[in-house]
Amino acid sequence: MFFVYGLRSSLPSAITPKENKTDSQSRSSGRGRYKPPHLRKKDGKTNDSLDDRSSDSESFRYDLGSSDSDLSDTDGYAKNGDRFRSSKARLAAILCIQDICRADPKSLTSLWPLLLPENDVLQQRKYRATLMTCLIFDPITKVRVEAASTIAAMLEGQALVLTQVAEYKESSKLGSFTTLSCSLGQILMQLHTGMMFLVQRETQTTLLAAVFRVLILLISATPYPRMPKELLPTVITAMCGRLLDRNSNKNEHYALLVNVLSCLEAAFAKVPPSSDVFGVLIDHCAGPSLAQQKSSVVVILLHCIEEEMHFSVRCGALQVLRSVVHNYPSCANIIWEKVRDIVLDLLQTESFEDQKCDANFGPPKEELSTKGRCLVAGIKVIDECLRVSSGFKGADDLKECRLLDIQQISDCTVNKSIKSAPHFEIETPGPSQNCSLDITLGTNRWTEVLETHLPRGLLHASAMVRTASLTCFAGMTSDVFFSLPVNKRDYVTSSSVSLLFLCFIMFP
């Protein structure tokens, strides 16, 4: 394995640095290094200089000195202590594994325990180095980035296998047989530990982007029901802690926040919903102190959609809130008022900009800008909240659409789940996650949206915004529809028919 080629072992020295320095000085002033007889020639000065140079490179873990010619290199090898380009061997080995993963991911399944750690991921290894060793400890940034890309390729290629097979169990006696499923479970656990370590301590933007990509794939491929129950809540808490970081919570660092929000979206979108994750969501929401309330996950996400934040951050936070409401419907009541006001403000701002563009005879832009994507994400959160308040499950509509003869012949009823329906049923200790159906609440919210949001959304200049607004009608249940005033029912019917008619005309 070439993962640590050119790097000295990280084992601690048996003597103190002061003693080491004194000893090296005495040796340099004395006999010097031993030389074979055939090297003891008249040109010994030249050999001495070469030997001293190699001795200097071995006396430190990394050579931090550099000459003028070294500093002139554009790749920065000498600056990072890679005077002899040993990192190229490590990089070539990593890229070779990466190419194999992309060409045939299944060929490396049995070699995962050799390439990724099963224990002690934060301990540097000399004899059994892994890709995580390169990612965490290598001094060359390019090597670390490619190590992260290789791990991402491995996770992406074997996501289905990990989801179906991996299972975490406490390690048994040393040397005992370990099944592939348990081995993969231990690897996933160590990957989580290593990624959390890097997310909390790393500062290089390029490396952080690669780490977050690995983390998103890791969250998507991990079967959390077969992992320790505190694992996913720990990931969510760590990501929210990064959102609270003042150095990261700046407009110029919005790309970092977008990556963090993408990880949170993947975490909250995991099915089946977890009662432990729900506990993290509602924790400190109604705390006795203002500081506890500000540290709540929901409050942090609501802060990210405020007007002062970058539109990319607001869009990412709205996507996270949509996943939260879909899997944990009880949170809809907490975020409704804030999201409602934010989306209405976005609709009014977009309408004003469209009028200004028309006045200047500007060309219409069908491609969604960042503001447009943010608006679409906000409308989808509104749609999800309306489905929760309406009690939309989708299964009743499927049963009603079945043919009568099939209903009479069939003796059993097959339960079907609709992905677009919120997950109302989840077993949770303590606060109940089951949302009791309140037609009055659903009717009031639908009436409000039909008066303020949808008229602007259905007439928006962007086709994607109009589509997202029209999709909201799909989550309205029959009970809510017939409880609306007559004029609102007529508006829903006419708007749906007219927009569908336009779609058939434009796209026959």
Residue 319 has, within 13 A of its CA and on its CB side, a CA count of: 19
Close Cβ partners of 446 (under 8 Å, ≥ 6 residues apart) = 386, 389, 390, 476, 480, 484, 488
Of residues 236 and 3, more confidently modeled: 236
* Ranges 107-116, 234-243, 285-294, 325-334: which has the least confidence: 285-294
Tens digit of each residue's pLDDT (9 = 90 or more) over 165-213 = 999 987 655 556 788 899 999 999 999 999 999 998 998 889 999 999 9
**Structural tokens at position 418:** 């609709």
Smallest CA-to-CA distance from 459 within 305, 315, 381, 348 is with 348
Tens digit of each residue's pLDDT (9 = 90 or more) over 72-84 = 344 455 555 566 6
Per DSSP, the three-state class of 366 is coil
pTM: predicted TM-score of the whole model, two decimal places: 0.78
- The reported pLDDT for the residue numbered 68 is 38
Q: Secondary structure of the chain: what % helix, strand, coil (to 5)?
A: 65, 0, 35
Block residue for tokens 């009055």: 440
Calpha distance 473→163 (Å, rounded): 34
Torsion of CA 243, 246, 249, 253, to 10 degrees: -110
Close Cβ partners of 380 (under 8 Å, ≥ 6 residues apart) = 318, 319, 322, 468, 471
Interhelix angle 297-304/311-327, nearest 10 degrees: 140
Q: Is 247 exposed, middle or buried (0-12, 13-18, 19+ CB in 10 A)?
A: exposed
Calpha distance 183→171 (Å, rounded): 9
Whether the upstream peptide bond of residue 272 has omega within 30° of 0, thus cis, is yes
Average of pLDDT values for 215-244? 94
Average pLDDT of the chain, as a whole number: 78
- For the chain, give the number of residues: 508
Tens digit of each residue's pLDDT (9 = 90 or more) over 43-79 = 444 444 434 444 443 333 333 333 333 333 444 555 5
DSSP conformation class of 122 = T
Q: What confidence tier does 292 reach under pLDDT thresholds 50, 70, 90?
A: low
Calpha distance 45→26 (Å, rounded): 19
Radius of gyration over alpha carbons of the chain, in Å?
30
First to last CA, the chain: 60
Calpha distance 340→31 (Å, rounded): 81
Calpha distance 86→77 (Å, rounded): 9
Q: Indicate whether 361 pLDDT > 60.
A: no
Average of pLDDT values for 122-140? 87
Calpha distance 323→326 (Å, rounded): 5
- The reported pLDDT for the residue numbered 291 is 57
